[in-house]
Structures are given as structure tokens and as C-alpha cells.
Structure 1
Amino acid sequence: MMNIRHLKYFVATAESGQVSRAANLLAISQSSVTGAIRDLETELGTDLFLRTSHGMELTEAGREFLASAREILQKLDEATKLTRRHSTVSGVISLAASYTVIGYFLPYHLDRLQHLYPGLEVRLSELNRESIEEGLLSNRFDMAVVLTSNLNNPELESETLLKSTRRLWVPNNHPFQRRGKASFEEIAQEDYIMLTVDEAAHTTMKYWSMTSFQPRVKLRTSSVEAVRSMVANGQGVTMLSDMVYRPWSLEGKRIGTLTTDKEIPSMDVGLAWRRGIEFSRPVSVLVDYFKQCYALPQTPFSLGRG
């Protein structure tokens, strides 16, 4: 029968992408994780993961179940930590975040933080990566939630929380979808819808450059919803992460996803701060909250790591 252990092991595996990593994060055996996932799939009557040479990839049923599992665990967490609602921790946190993070990652966590720590005030600013980095280095921001896979500044520390798999998006019943896989050579023959926000175009061209092919770009846009609608309506294909994926466009048309013949780097989301900075009590609470959510090792964060 399904229990909380099943849900925790499933979420850890979905977020880490590998049974071995989930087991390490949870400090349990790999067989415990695989057994729990197998029991869960049996009870639900569907496969939640595709087992590949690269790890565990969520099926569409798995992605839908992930949202429900997180909600259940959230409610349990709130129920078992009611005393934290009356926490005496108070103060202001100046937090920066990029477009994708604010749109698809942060709102859920900001709501939880408000309930768990009503004395904390999070002042949020949306900026691009360069402005966020400058703000962290000048102490304008205490912390940032960013795409850590885009960071390259040696004066910043970062902690990745979530690795979101990138896949090929295609309109429903596309020939690629029926086969379940496509090569970069085949994708290069399709019209391509290029997302530009949060350096997505630059990242896309980096992994295309590892092949001998180029995407046939039909449209460049900063709107994820425009990409979603264009793909759903058969105007092209794209490659984006599971975090921004939704199975339906605004017009109610379905979008399918599949893997490619070459591994695409994940989109990594996490925390960033100026190297060596001393965290205030409110910022330490924020950091510990995220580390607990994503089953990262709990270490003292009164000082940034050098």
C-alpha cells in the first residue's frame, strides 16, 4: 500500500535523475529506492520512469504524479512542523531571481516560507544573470535563485537544488513521438522554435555545436507560452526542460516530449551567493529550507564556504 516512504523515494529519484544519487541523498540502499518505486508503479498501474543508460527519466504519468507527490509531502511537512509557524526568526532577505526561476520554481516555495516563517520578509527582484551576479558581488542582494548551469563567475558560490532534464518537444502525433526518439540530424530538418529568455538560445547552440548540424530556426521569442503554442500547433519543434513543460498549449492542444540520440545537458536550478559572505540568521533559514526540500546534506551555513 502506498505510504510516505514511497513518495519521498519517488520525489528524490525524480529530482536527482538517478537511483544511486537518490539513495545517497536519503542515506539508504539503492535496493530500497528501486523497491519502493516498483511498488508504487504496481499500485498505480503505470510506469513512472523510463530506465535509460543515463538514469531515470519521468514518463508523462510520472511528471503528473510528481506534482501530487510534492503537494502531499508539503502538507505533511506543514502538519509535522506547526511550531515553526510561530518561529521567532524575523528579518528581511533581499533575493534576486531570473525569469524562468520566478515563473516556474519560486512561487511554490515563497508560499511555503510565508507559512512556515511569517516573520521573514522576502524582497524579490527579477533580473538577468549578469545583473544578478553584479548585485550579489556588490552586496545589493543577500542571495539569488538562478539557473546554476549558466553561472561561471569564480567570485560566486552556488548550490544546485534541482536538475531539470531537457527533452525535444513536438506536436501531438508527430512521427518522432510515435518512434519515441529522434536524432539531431532529423531534428535539423524540422522548423525550430528558439526560446531566448535566460540565455536559452546560447545554451541551445552550445549543445548543437557538439554535433555537425544546426537548428533551422523559424522563430526566436522570449515567451515560453509562444513556444508552447507554436509547437502544439505544428509550427516547429524545440528543446526545453521538464520544469517549464506543460502537456497542453493555451489552445488546448497537446505537446509530446521525447529523448534524442545525444544527451542534452540538464537545466540546473539552485542558490548563488558571494563567496565568503557571512549569512544572517534569516538567510541561513532560507538556505536550510531549500536544502531540506531537496534532500541535500545539512551543513552549518553561518559562513559561506571558501
Structure 2
Amino acid sequence: MDSKYAQRPQRVRLPQIHIGTPPELLHGLKLIIPVLLFLVSFSPPLKRCLLHLKNRRFYKINEINRFNLVISLTDLCMSLSSLYLDAFYACAKAGHFTQAANLIHITQSALSQRIAKLEDELGTTLFVRLSSGIKLTPAGEELLRYCKSREALERDCLGKIRGNHNKQLQGVIRIGGFSSIMRSAVLPALTPLLKKNPHLKLQMLSKEMDELPTLLRRGEIDYMIHYNEWVKDDIETRLLGNERNICVERSGYRGPEVFLDHDENDQTTAKYLKMIKSKKSYERRYLDDVYGLIDGVKNGIGRAIVPEHLIQSERKIRIVDDKNVLHFPVIMHFYKQPYYTELHTHIIQHLELGVPKILGTN
């Protein structure tokens, strides 16, 4: 572009828009957006003006007839800098400015400036600075999900453009859930997908129930398996089946009334005894996870309420009462996206097909 035109953006005349019916509005936007993009790229004062309008909330056009449009002038005119987003993403993953600067090979000062400029453009704080590092704010958590979606979509798009002749999927499956379901059901359900696509990476986390929503919200996992449905407008859920929990003991057990739980907050035994209306007093022992409970039962140190599918091949264990079953739903959660990658589609398909078979609820 000739420099003499770049120096005089004020001479460009903006076409007038008559905001009436939705078609007229959309036609007007098609005309004005390229001009605004040009002006913003060469005129810092106009950019500051638009940011001022954004902060004053003068730019929104809400619910125009049946289209229910919400249009942000600054969003239409300016896109977030890739440099700023890469700096933010590195910080979010590293949890510390120094480590993030090393990841993207820039100085810590340059990294801090990029984060400050990004926060200035967005008009919000993305990190809370702590003595131990940095922590994402709710706005930062939202932007992190955007960065991860952007990364996944870019990988998906480039694979299609470059022509993946082997038709193999690439990317990372980040999934977290409770211990009784991850190794026994989720991993076997995903195994065919992983074998067919050797470049796929897998990150599985087994955590307590109360820890999982935080991991999903912070973007540390993309899929969460939970007993309880997390009802939110931006969350999608899939019921993968029901886990059947039964009371078991070692064959020939004659010990005291002792039940094994994960920890003192584990309410599984209490729920089971309430369901069968038992009022007997009992002692508790804690063995961390479900596999610890099974080992404890086999060693004869107490009874436990465990998923039926985990003890079917255990010869040393017997079912105390096969008529009373405590059911827990197995629900998968993930954030809604405007577009889902091919990898996401395959993950959902394999889990919805494989997990119910393993649980015996298909």
C-alpha cells in the first residue's frame, strides 16, 4: 500500500448506515467493517477511542428483531494479538512468569509487557500474582479455554489442509474422573482409538469428586467424569451409564463390623447403609482409593462398598448381598464449543459405546 494513503486515514469517508430491518443492518456492517479495520491499523487515536467506547459500553446493539444479535464494534474491528495470546497461554500452562518466558524464548520483562497489554485490551485482569506464582482469574480461565480450543482447531484445520493421507488423528486427550471408572472403563473404551492413532497423546487424572470441577474450570482437563451432573449453561453432559456398587467381604470373613472408605469425607458406605436401613454402629478404615479398598477386603481387614464390575474376577471376594445395589450415574462433562474437532467427535463416540459395555448398562 502506498504510504501517502496510510498517512491520511481521516480522508476515508465512512458510508452511512440506516439501522432498520436486520438485512439492512447486516449489509451496512459488510460495508463499514473493512474501512474500520483499515483505520484501526493506521490510527492509534481511533483505537484508543474505540477502547474508550468499549469501556463506556456504547457499542452494543442488542436483540435486533429475530436475529438476537449482540455486536461489539471493538470485537469486529480488532482481533487479539497472537503474540499476546501465546504469552498468556505459556503463563497459564507454566504457572509462573519466569518459566513461561523460557518456554517461548523471550525475557521476563517482555512477557510481562505482553500480558499487561493483553489485560489492557480486554479491560480485565487475567492473573492473580502470588508469592508462589500466578493463578488464573475467572476471566483468565475463560481465555484459557479459548486458547485450547484455538490450538485444537488449528491442529485439526492444518491436518485437513496438508492432507493427512493416513487419516490419523492428532492432539491430546485430557480427561479426569474418579478412580473406580478411569482405569477400569475409560481407558479400555479409549484404547481402540489410541491404537488406531499412534500420534494421539493421553493425559488421565484420577481425583476425588470435589477436585474434578476445579480441574475442568481451570482447563487442566477437557473432559470430566463425575457422579453428579454439573448444571451450567456452558457445560454439555453425556450419561455413560450407571455404576453398580455392592457390599463385599473376603470369603470366610468373620471379623468385626468394619467398613473401608477412601477417606473420612467418603459417604459411600453411609449412603449404602442408609439405603438398606441399617442402624448398626461400625468402625471405619481409610485406604485412599477403590483399589486400596479391594486390597483391604482381600486381606480381610473389613468390608467395603465397591463397584461390581471391579470384583467380578476376584476369587477371594464374595458379595454379601446381591439384591441391594447402590447406583451412581457416570456422567461426562465438557465445555460447549461453537465448533467441535474431529478428535472430539471420536472421543465422545468411543466413550458412549465402550463405557456402558464395561459397566454392564448398555
Give the structure with higher Rg (CA): 2
Partner of 2:342: 281
SS of 2:180's equivalent in the other structure is helix
For the residues of structure 2 that align with 1:257 and 1:95, how far apart are their CA atoms?
A: 31
State the match for 1:162 in structure 2.
241
How many pairs were matched up? Answer: 190
Task: In structure 2, list runs of 5 or more residues that go unmatched.
Answer: 1-164, 358-362
Q: Does 1:153 align with 2:261?
A: no
CA distance in 2 between counterparts of 1:233 and 1:239 reads 15
1:101 to 181, 185, 194: 181
Change (3 A) 1:277 1:213: farther
Root mean square deviation of aligned Cα: 3.4
**TM-aligned CA distance change 1:127 to 1:244, over 3 Å:** same
Deviations 1:230-282 (A, max 9, x none): 4334433222111332554xxxx711114266x33223334221356753321
> Given the two structures, how large is their TM-score scaled by the length of structure 2?
0.44
Superposed, 1:50-69 pairs within 5 Å as none
- Kindly tell me: are residues 295 and 154 of structure 1, through their superposed partners in 2, closer, same or farther at Cα, counting changes over 3 Å? closer
Q: How far off its partner does 1:92 sit?
A: 2.6
Name the structure, 1 or 2, with higher relative contact order (CA <8 Å, separation 6+). Answer: 1
Whether contact under 8 Å (2:249, 2:303) holds in the other structure is: yes
* CA separation of 1:165 and 1:273: change in aligned 2, threshold 3 A: same
CA distance in 1, matches of 2:201, 2:296: 39
2:290 and 2:180 map into 1 onto residues whose CA distance is 9
Percent identity of equivalent pairs: 13
Q: Distance in 1 between matches of 2:218 and 2:170?
A: 24
SS in 2 for 1:141: coil
Q: Deviations over 1:173-206 (max 9, x none)?
A: 458xxxxxxxxxxxxx95222221696x213223
Q: SS where residue 165 of structure 1 aligns?
A: strand
Q: CA deviation at 1:287?
A: 0.4
For 1:288 and 1:198, the matched residues in 2 are separated by 36
Equivalent residue number for residue 38 of structure 2: none
Whichever residue aligns with residue 254 of structure 1, its letter is K
2:267 aligns to what SS in structure 1?
A: helix
For residues 27-42 of structure 1, what are the structure 2 equivalents within 5 Å? none
The equivalent residue for 1:221 is 287
Query: Does the alignment pair 1:114 with 2:180?
Result: no
Q: Say if 2:209 is the partner of 1:132.
A: no
Using the TM superposition, give the Cα deviation of residue 290 of structure 1 relative to its aligned residue in structure 2, in angstroms. 1.8
Q: Deviations over 1:141-191 (max 9, x none)?
A: 3212x2x32x2421243322232322221221458xxxxxxxxxxxxx952
- Counterparts of 1:282-301 in structure 2 under 5 Å? 282-293=343-354
Residue from 250, 263, 270 that aligns with 1:205: 270
